[in-house]
Every structure is written in C-alpha cells, then in structure tokens.
Amino acid sequence: MLNAITDFLGKVDNFVWGLPLIILILATGVFLTVRLRGLQIIRFPLAIRYMFSSDEEDGNGEVSSFAALCTALSATIGTGNIVGVATAIVSGGPGALFWMWMAAIVGTATKYAECLLAVKYRVVEKDGHIIGGPFYYIENGMGKQFRWLAKIFAVFGIMVGLFGIGTFTQINGITSAVGNFFDADSVHYINLFGRDYSITIVISGIILTVFVALVLIGGLKRISNVAQVVVPFMAMVYVLVVLIILGLNITKIPAALVEIVEGAFGLRAFGGGMFGAMIVAMQKGIARGIFSNEAGLGSAPIAAAAAQSKEEVRQGLISMLGTFIDTIIICTMTGLSIVITGAWDMGLEGVAVTTKAFQMGLPFPDKVAAFILMICLVFFAFTTILGWDYYSEKCLEYIIGNKPKAITVYRWIYIACIFIGPYMTVQAVWTIADICNGLMAIPNLIALIALSKVVVSETNSFFERGVHKQLK
C-alpha cells in the first residue's frame, strides 16, 4: 500500500514539476530581470545598506522591515538548506546545485517584485492588523474578476503549510537528525502504526510539538521576536562551521565546481542519457531551490506586507536579500561540502547525507560533527515551522475572513500535522512538499507577469524621486 502511494505521488510530482513549470519559473525570473534592468545585481549594495539601516520609515505595519525579513528567512532557512540540498544532489547529481544557483539569480528579481507588490496592495483590517500577499495583489492589482485565482493561491498556500514546507519536512528532518545522533541503530525502539520507530524520534517529536504550540499562541509578534534572535545567530554558526569544512578542503573546490557544471548539462552521462541527465538535474535543482528560497512561491510577500514601510521599493530590496542569503550563501556551502566529501554518492538519503559530509569534513569526532549539524537543523527547522504557520494562517484568513476562533482551530490542526510528521518516510515527505510548492507557485507567477508593468513603474518612480539618496 505504501509503495503504491509513493509511486502515485512520484508520478504527480513529475507531472507538476515537468518542463512547463520549470520554464515558467525561469522565464518569469528572466523576464523580470530584463524589465528591471538587472536591478537585483545593480541595486544589491543599496539593499544591503537598507537592511542594516536604523532609519525606520513611518509607515503602516506591525513589525520592522528587518523583522519582516527575518520572519521570511525563518520560513525559508530550514531543512531545505540542509536536507533539501542533499536530496537534490542525491537525486539529480551535483549538477542540481548549478540549477539552484540559476533559479536563485533570476529568482532574486522575482522575490523583489512579489514583495514590492505585497506592500503596495496590502490591506489594513478593521482591528488595525495588516494582511497582504499574492491573494491581495491578484485581487486588487489584476482586478476583482481574478479573485478566483487569488483563492486558488490561498488554498495551495494552506496545503503547503500543512503538508509541505511548514510541517512534515521540518519535523521529519529534525527528528531524523536527533535520531541519527542519539540512536542511529534504533536500538531503543517502539512499534507504532505497524512500523518500528526509535524512542528518540518519538520523544523529540513530542517535545518539539509542545514548543511550537507555545510560540504559535503568541501570534506574529512572538514569531518575529524569536526569528530576529534565532535566525541571524544560527545562520552565522552554520556558515562558520561549513567554512571550516571548505577551508580544510580548499584544494578540492575547483574539481567540485567542474563536477557541478558538468553534471548540470549532463556531460558526465553517456550517449543518449545526456539530455535526460540534464533534465533531472534541472528538475531537482530548481524544485529544491524554490523549496529553499521560495522565490516565486508567494510566501515571502505575506511577511513583507506586515513591514513598517511606506516605500514599496525599499521593502522589495530588503526582502530580495532573502534569496541571496538562503541559496547563494547557505545552500551553496551545504552543496559544496556534500560534493567535496562525496557524501552524496554513498547510498545515503536525507539528513544522513549532510551528516556524513560534516563528519568527513570537520576535524572533530563523528559524534561532535553530527551534534553540531543536529543543533543547526533543529533551530532552522523550528523557525521555519513558525513562519509557515503565519503564512498559511493568512491564506486561510483571506478565504474565510478575520475569524479568530477558526484561526485557533487551524493552529491546532497545524500542530497535529507537526506531531505526525516524524512517522512519514523521507521520500513521501519531500515528494508531497514538491507537489504543493509547484501548485502554489503557478497562480503567483501568473500575477507577477500580469503586474510587471506596475513593478517597473513603482521602481522607476522610486529612483527618479531620489528616495534612495535619502538613506541615513
């Protein structure tokens, strides 16, 4: 039965993430990059200055621009950066990392556009709280006649939260890492649902579920407060650790880069398999890249809409840095460590691949290396769970309206999904996540193309008014 379900999900995944969607994602990013004249590259220094600026604008919003970025990063920096990169390289070869880069470079323009639109078309509710995102820039930007498309996005957003990025993949990655560290051979196990599970996995799953429940009760401000502390700290710790691996293996980096580029175009395949190998590398790389940085997915705009900013372009510039930080920095470092050590080609899967890379690359005992990765993964995934609850709640709120009791019920359903996540297989978890992500991206990408003229107009106006020169 489980094999039949897995096979069915695999077929759906291959259909959703076929060439049409891959082309749509890349084409949208390229289209916006051209229309914005390479803004993500030319205005990158300005975006950095805005991120570190203490000059907060007097605009409507619930959290600071930096807090909004951290909330978005809390949802993006998670298992995708550690486990997702590993699964992409195992399934698509080292070349998958190249396509993650390509998706990220053009995806930065996509992230800029969607976050700009989120601030422009956000709505202030009667009680003063703000809601915004693709559903509102579809409805208010494209017109009321496209409300059906906005609702489709919101439904898929809820699905991604409950069955995709938000719950199953995160808790499954955390408990797998904890189980591999404390009870790798499952010596201490319990039989549940007809299968044996390490007691460590069961206990860690319960503990994490309780902590998530405690934070979610506090809403957006508590989530953003946690994110502002945890995300920057854990990102720096993770980057520092991986830099040690790369530094100790610096002579292997050139060969690894060659392997990545050759794998991206199927140059290591034989005969007629070259094109097929390239397509698989593209499929896995782009799918995991979107899973990781969420550019074009439509999630980050929901957080950006809550920022205390009256300038749409400013928030768009700040928000687009999320794609750079997530993929170009963190995913690249993870991917290089996996390729350099050869951990991707050892018959392992999921978090075990990255764990093996850490153990082989760090000058520490295996237990210490595994513990470091486990801690990073726990905190990254924990904040992702929190961020995606906020996203999916806003999607639900768009559909049913501001109904606190219904939102509370949804939170408990969300928590229940976290509770059952550890008992699903790695392959099923990531396949479901891919399907939900792809379905969510489609209506958002359509809206970005339709509203590209608005994005260009707002951008030109911002720089013509010289607002960027007023930065303190």
Q: Is position 329 within any domain? A: yes
As a whole number, mean pLDDT of residues 75-90 equals 79
As a whole number, mean pLDDT of residues 110-135 equals 87
Q: Is position 381 within any domain? A: yes
Class of residue 293 by CB neighbours under 10 A (exposed 0-12, middle 13-18, buried 19+) = buried
- Number of domains the chain contains: 1
Q: Is position 396 within any domain? A: yes
C-alpha to C-alpha distance for 301 and 57, rounded to whole angstroms: 18
Q: pLDDT at position 214, please?
A: 80
Q: Is position 304 within any domain? A: yes
What's CA 180's distance to the chain center, in Å?
A: 24
pTM (two decimals): 0.83
High-pLDDT (> 70) share of the chain, % = 85
Q: Is position 253 within any domain? A: yes
As a whole number, mean pLDDT of residues 30-49 equals 92
Q: Which domain holds residue 411?
A: 9-35+60-460
Q: Is residue 469's pLDDT more than 70?
A: no
In sequence order, the 6+-apart residues with CB closer than 8 A to the CB of 431 are: 6, 9, 10, 12, 13
Q: Is residue 375's pLDDT more than 60?
A: yes
Q: Which is higher by pLDDT, 316 or 59?
A: 316
Q: Is position 40 within any domain? A: no
Q: Is position 380 within any domain? A: yes
Q: Which is higher by pLDDT, 70 or 413?
A: 413
Q: pLDDT at position 270, please?
A: 44
High-pLDDT (> 90) share of the chain, % = 28
CATH code of the domain containing 379: 1.10.4160
C-alpha to C-alpha distance for 81 and 452, rounded to whole angstroms: 29
Q: pLDDT at position 130, please?
A: 80
C-alpha to C-alpha distance for 277 and 40, rounded to whole angstroms: 30
Average pLDDT, the chain: 83
Q: Is position 88 within any domain? A: yes
